[in-house]
Structure 1
Amino acid sequence: MNEVIKTILNHRSLRQFEDKSLTDEQIRTIVTSAQAASTSSFIQAYSIIGVKDKEKKKKLAEVVGNQPYVEHNGHFFVFCADLYRHSHIGEQEQKDVLPSIESTEKFMVALIDAALAAQNAAIAAESMGLGICYIGGIRNNLEEVQKLLKTPERVIPLFGLAVGYPTKITGQKPRLPFEHIYHEDEYQQDQEVYLQQLQNYDQIISSYYMERTGGKRADRWTEQMANMLERKSRMYMKEFIQKNKLDLR
């Protein structure tokens, strides 16, 4: 097993970091690694905003739900879907690009491009001995995030990535079984097998929480997901995206 695969398989979300900033060289390495990711039709429909300003990080931490690791880390990256530059390209080249830019397809391209870039960045950071944590709470209040980051129309902050020198290494959460994730030739739909896989995984996750919390928690994964999905969250998203002139068709 090579070192790249070892880094990938050793991933875990870390939330406690030293009070030590990343160097400019480290930041550049992480961002250029992100840029090396595949991008649909070379469109490069994303941008990355690095947040160094301590007061701005503090405000972001409050906006995303009072998550301290948004404020206290080595560097905070915000990955954005970005079709703003492409609207300017249309004007520059005198082409009517707006129907394409304002399509669901191009919005999906921007989301996928940003996610691919972010995962490259995460692996690069982890390979440097740093810890990372993705922050989906960025989408809790995108209007406030946009104000803080001064993003123009057609730019949607999607998620954050806290990076830093970890002070505590947590255990690794077991993932769904390989057989439940990987389907060969066609989607396997044997309900008995499918449900048994979930039940087996529930036992694994329950044991994981029991051990990690000294018996204080024993959540099953399906229980956890059902409770989470029952609660409506970020239901403003479609309206917000449309207001920002994306995903209109």
Structure 2
Amino acid sequence: MNQTIETLLNHRSIRKFKDEPVSEDQLAIILDAAQQASTSSYMMAYTIIGVTDPEKKSELAEVTGQKYVKDNGHLFIFCADLHRHTLHAAEEQYEDMKPNLENSEHFLVSAIDAALAAQNAAIAAESMGLGICYIGSIRNQLDRVDQLLSLPKHVIPLFGMVLGVPAHEPNKKPRLPRKAVYFENEYRDQTDELNNFDEKIAAYYQSRSSNNRVDTWTDQMLRRFTTPMRMDVTDLVQKKGFNKR
């Protein structure tokens, strides 16, 4: 097993960081790695915003409800970005572009491009001994984040990522068994695998060193999908010119 595979298999979310900044050299390498991610049709339809202003970080911590969004070595916000693709368009050309700018296909493309870049950044950071945690909770108040970052039309914030020198080593959370996520040739039933995984995750929650609780993966998902959440995201996404067609 090589070092790259070891880095990938050892991933865990880090939520406590030492009071040490990520160096400029480290940031440069992480961003270079992010930019080398695969991209659909060479569109590179994303922007990464590094948030260094303490007041902005504090406000984002308030939005997310997560203290570590303020207390970390660095904070990235990954955005879907089709704005730059319109910059040289004349008014008539822009009108011709709108069906593509506003359709679901290019919303997916820009979100996928951003996610691929982010995962490259995460692997690069972890390979240097840094820890990372994705921050989906910026979508708690997406309009507020959009305004805070002064994002133009056809740019929306998707998720954040905190990184820095780890100040703890949490347990590695189990993943679904391979048989529940990888099928050959067609989708198939996975009830037995999920039942077995529920037993495994229940034992994990009972045995871990912090946040010990009684729970299963299935119960978590039932709670999540029966409780409406972030129902305002669609409005903001469409207001910014995405996913309207």
Shorter-chain TM-score range: over 0.9
**Cα offset for 1:216?**
4.3
Counterpart for residue 22 of structure 1: 22
**Cα offset for 1:90?**
2.9
Alpha carbon RMSD of aligned pairs, Å?
Answer: 1.6
In structure 1, the gaps of 5 or more residues are none
Counterpart amino acid of residue 103 in structure 1: N
Counterpart for residue 160 of structure 1: 160
Counterpart amino acid of residue 13 in structure 2: S
> 1:87 touches 1:101 (CA, 8 Å); kept in 2?
no
Output the TM-score relative to the length of structure 2: 0.95
Counterpart for residue 115 of structure 1: 115
Worse-superposed segment, 211-220 or 54-63: 211-220
Is 2:36 the partner of 1:40? no
> 1:133 touches 1:162 (CA, 8 Å); kept in 2?
yes
Taking structure 1 as reference, are residues 5 and 91 closer, same or farther at Cα in structure 2, changes over 3 Å only? Answer: farther
Question: Which residue, out of 201, 204, 209, partners 1:208?
Answer: 204
**Cα offset for 1:56?**
1.2
What secondary structure sits across from 2:208 in the alignment?
helix
What secondary structure sits across from 2:14 in the alignment?
coil
Taking structure 1 as reference, are residues 204 and 74 closer, same or farther at Cα in structure 2, changes over 3 Å only? Answer: same
**Cα offset for 1:218?**
2.1
Please list, as runs of the form range in 1=range in 2, the aligned pairs for 1:1-249 lying within 5 A after superposition. Answer: 1-65=1-65, 67-91=66-90, 94=93, 96-189=96-189, 194-213=190-209, 216-249=212-245
What secondary structure sits across from 1:186 in the alignment?
coil
What count of residue pairs does the alignment treat as equivalent?
244
Worse-superposed segment, 214-223 or 68-77: 214-223
Worse-superposed segment, 163-172 or 20-29: 20-29
Taking structure 1 as reference, are residues 184 and 150 closer, same or farther at Cα in structure 2, changes over 3 Å only? Answer: same
Output the TM-score relative to the length of structure 1: 0.94
**Cα offset for 1:98?**
2.0
Counterpart amino acid of residue 22 in structure 2: L
Counterpart amino acid of residue 88 in structure 1: L
In structure 2, the gaps of 5 or more residues are none
> 1:87 touches 1:98 (CA, 8 Å); kept in 2?
no
Taking structure 1 as reference, are residues 226 and 178 closer, same or farther at Cα in structure 2, changes over 3 Å only? Answer: same
Taking structure 1 as reference, are residues 79 and 205 closer, same or farther at Cα in structure 2, changes over 3 Å only? Answer: same
Q: Which string of whole-angstrom CA distances, capped at 9 and with x for unpartnered residues, describes residues 159-196 of structure 1?
A: 0000000010100111000111110111123xxxx211
Worse-superposed segment, 211-220 or 68-77: 211-220
Whole-angstrom CA distance in 1 between matches of 2:177 and 2:7: 20
Percent identical across equivalent pairs?
52
Counterpart amino acid of residue 17 in structure 1: F
**Cα offset for 1:229?**
1.4
Whole-angstrom CA distance in 1 between matches of 2:149 and 2:211: 42
Whole-angstrom CA distance in 2 between matches of 1:11 and 1:92: 47
What secondary structure sits across from 1:217 in the alignment?
coil
**Cα offset for 1:89?**
3.6
